[in-house]
Amino acid sequence: MNDARPPLRIGRSIAAVVIGIVATIAITIVTDIVLHAIKLFPPLDQRVPDALLALATAYRTIYGIAGSYLTARLAPSRPVLHAMVGGALGFVVGIVGAVATWNGGPAYETHWYPIALIVLALPQSWLGGWLRERQIAGA
């Protein structure tokens, strides 16, 4: 009798999602720090103008797609599902962040920005997973 069983894939699934999320958060924080350091963004206690929030929305979306692609790339199977799990977590965190900062003072007066991050969380995650799936299909 052969007692060999296929290895559990749950660990790889969890790792794929966590790595994608951590990579996305890390590159976002680094970008934010650099933009504040070069004084493109105002100090943290001041309101960021809408044009700069649009820039932040753009790079966060690109990073979200890349992080979701990374999750999908590392996933042992079903790349889009793994990317969407990360997106769902981002969606929930986005809601929590919006609620926590909604009346947070002058630095948080622009309400369209946290709403945009919430709305974009799942589509960008799907796109990252879809790109990986297309890559697999073309291989």
Q: What pLDDT is recorded for position 84?
A: 98
Distinct helix (H) and strand (E) counts, the chain: 4, 0
What pTM was computed for the model? 0.91
Please tell me which residue, 3 or 71, carries the higher pLDDT value. Answer: 71
Domain that holds residue 25: 13-138
SS3 38: coil
Extended strands (E) in the chain: none
* pLDDT one-digit tens code per residue, 101-112: 999 888 888 999
Q: Is residue 84 part of a domain?
A: yes
Say whether pLDDT at 67 is over 60: yes
Domains: count for the chain:
1
Compute the mean pLDDT over every residue in the chain, rounded to the nearest whole number. Answer: 93
Q: Is residue 2 part of a domain?
A: no
* pLDDT one-digit tens code per residue, 2-25: 555 556 689 999 999 999 999 999
| DSSP class of 104 | S
Question: Residue 100 and residue 53: Cα distance in Å, rounded?
Answer: 18
Say whether pLDDT at 1 is over 80: no
Q: Which residues contact 16 (CB under 8 A, 6 or more apart)?
A: 71, 72, 73, 74, 75, 76, 82
